[in-house]
Structure 1
Amino acid sequence: MKQDDVPEPVDARLGRRLAELRAERGWSLGDLAERSGISRSTLSRAERAEISPTAALLNRLCHVYGRTMSRLLSEVEEEPAPLLRAAEQPVWEDRASGFVRRSVSPPHPGLRGELVEGRLAAGADIAYDRPPVSGLEQHIWVLEGGLAVTAEDVEHRLDAGDCLRLRVAGPTRFRCVGGTRARYVLAVVLP
């Protein structure tokens, strides 16, 4: 929320989309809470844009709805185009964790691949309890700083220029290591 308690336009659109996805399935807040492991009150507040959802919360909802975070975020953007200029690329921030996500690829529901720029503040640590889509392929290319990525209980330490490829089936963790922020490109390919 902004300081004056007026939701950011993207938060309001995201809240509406989350409510639509739940309604499309005929689920109550209780049904969604049971499926996602997120409290009904938190879900309700996210749908009403009273809170800006964290990356971990959105990841859980994406898992339940069977879509990537990029797809969900692209669904709340105005008009997808084949060319997305740098100044027009949607940026979403998880203020609680120090994570900033830029959707680099022009969104398109029929395509399986997408590019995302991630930035983690020094010391930031994000854990996802499950992938948004099981079997998701990810390529993580570090541009600046250091990043520790944990998947299947194996930690991979990446420095600038390093690239890790993995297929995500369980919990993952992204941790900024070192005294400066980490900036990386995440290439996501749907199974």
Structure 2
Amino acid sequence: MRHQGNVGAPDPVDARLGARLAELRAERGWSLGELAERSGISRSTLSRAERAEISPTAALLNRLCAVHGRTMSQLLSEVEAEPAPLVRAAEQTVWEDRTAGFVRRSVSPPHAGLRGELVEGRLAAGADLAYDRPPVPGLEQHLWVLDGALDVTVGQAAHHLDAGDCLRMRVWGATRFCSTGPGEARYVLAVVRP
């Protein structure tokens, strides 16, 4: 997440995200231990994320989205204020996993009732982002590379994409995105829930 404000104060988006994660766990009546078993994330890490003591990584959020049956954009839109039909570029939610060299911009106006969304992704040169499962099984994705180059692995199938290339995939298992160019890779991801 983008960190703003006083040192030591939680990022406002992290704080809202942590509160929403705690709500989702409470809605299911799960203890931290039960959620840890279902997600493969330690109780300590889950507790710290819920209290906004840490900014969750993309991999951690992906696992939690899988457990809760929602896409990352859905989860992030749930921590936003009132949904609007138009979101200006300056107001689009930007989330960053600095450790992985990944920046994710939710381009589409958030709306929990819609199945499709657009996301802009940027991976630093050499960045390698792996997900062990999709946030929602059977998720349809269309990845269009705008700049740079990406190696994308979907299950056992490996694909090399250069600027202008587009890959359509239905995601059931692990995926991996590696930025292979000398500069960052920038792409648009169209996501359609089943």
In the superposition, the TM-score normalised over structure 2's length comes to 0.96
3-state secondary structure, aligned to 1:74: helix
1:1-23 deviation line (CA, Å, top 9, x unaligned): 66822111000000000000000
> Is 1:171 aligned to 2:174, yes or no?
yes
Please state how far the C-alpha of 1:76 moved relative to its aligned partner: 0.4
Provide the residue aligned with 1:150 in structure 2.
Answer: 153
Q: 1:95 aligned to 2:129?
A: no
- Quote the residue 2:192 is aligned against: 189
Confirm whether residue 8 of structure 1 aligns to residue 19 of structure 2: no
What is the CA–CA distance in structure 2 between the aligned matches of 1:69 and 1:136, rounded to whole Å? 12
Q: Which residue is equivalent to 2:65? A: 62
| Distance in 1 of aligned mates of 2:113 and 2:53 | 32
* 1:70 maps to amino acid: S
Aligned counterpart, 2:33: 30
What secondary structure, in the 3-state scheme, does the structure 2 residue paired with 1:187 have? strand
TM-score for both structures, normalised by structure 1: 0.98
Q: Tell me the secondary structure at the aligned position of residue 142 of structure 2.
A: strand
Shift of 1:79: 1.7
Mapped to 2, the partners of 1:95 and 1:16 lie a distance apart of 22
Corresponding pairs, count: 191
Q: How many angstroms does 1:37 deviate by?
A: 0.3
128-137 vs 148-157, which deviates more? 148-157
How far residue 154 of structure 1 moved from its aligned partner, in angstroms, is: 1.4
Whole-angstrom CA distance in 2 between matches of 1:132 and 1:29: 19
Q: Structure 1 regions of 5+ residues with no counterpart?
A: none
State the Cα RMSD in Å. Answer: 1.0
Equivalent residue number for residue 159 of structure 1: 162
Cα distance, 1:167 vs structure 2:
0.2
Instruction: Provide the secondary structure at the position in 2 that maps to 1:118.
Output: strand
Q: 1:121 aligns with which of 121, 124, 147?
A: 124
SS in 2 for 1:49: coil
Q: Given the alignment of the two structures, is residue 131 of structure 1 paired with residue 134 of structure 2, yes or no? A: yes
Q: Residue 179 of structure 1: CA displacement?
A: 1.2
SS at match of 1:31: helix
Runs of 4+ deviating beyond 4 Å: none
Structure 2: runs of 5+ lacking an equivalent? none
SS of residue matched to 1:142: strand
In structure 2, how many angstroms separate the alpha carbons of the residues matched to 1:84 and 1:4? Answer: 29
- Give how far 1:155 is off: 1.1
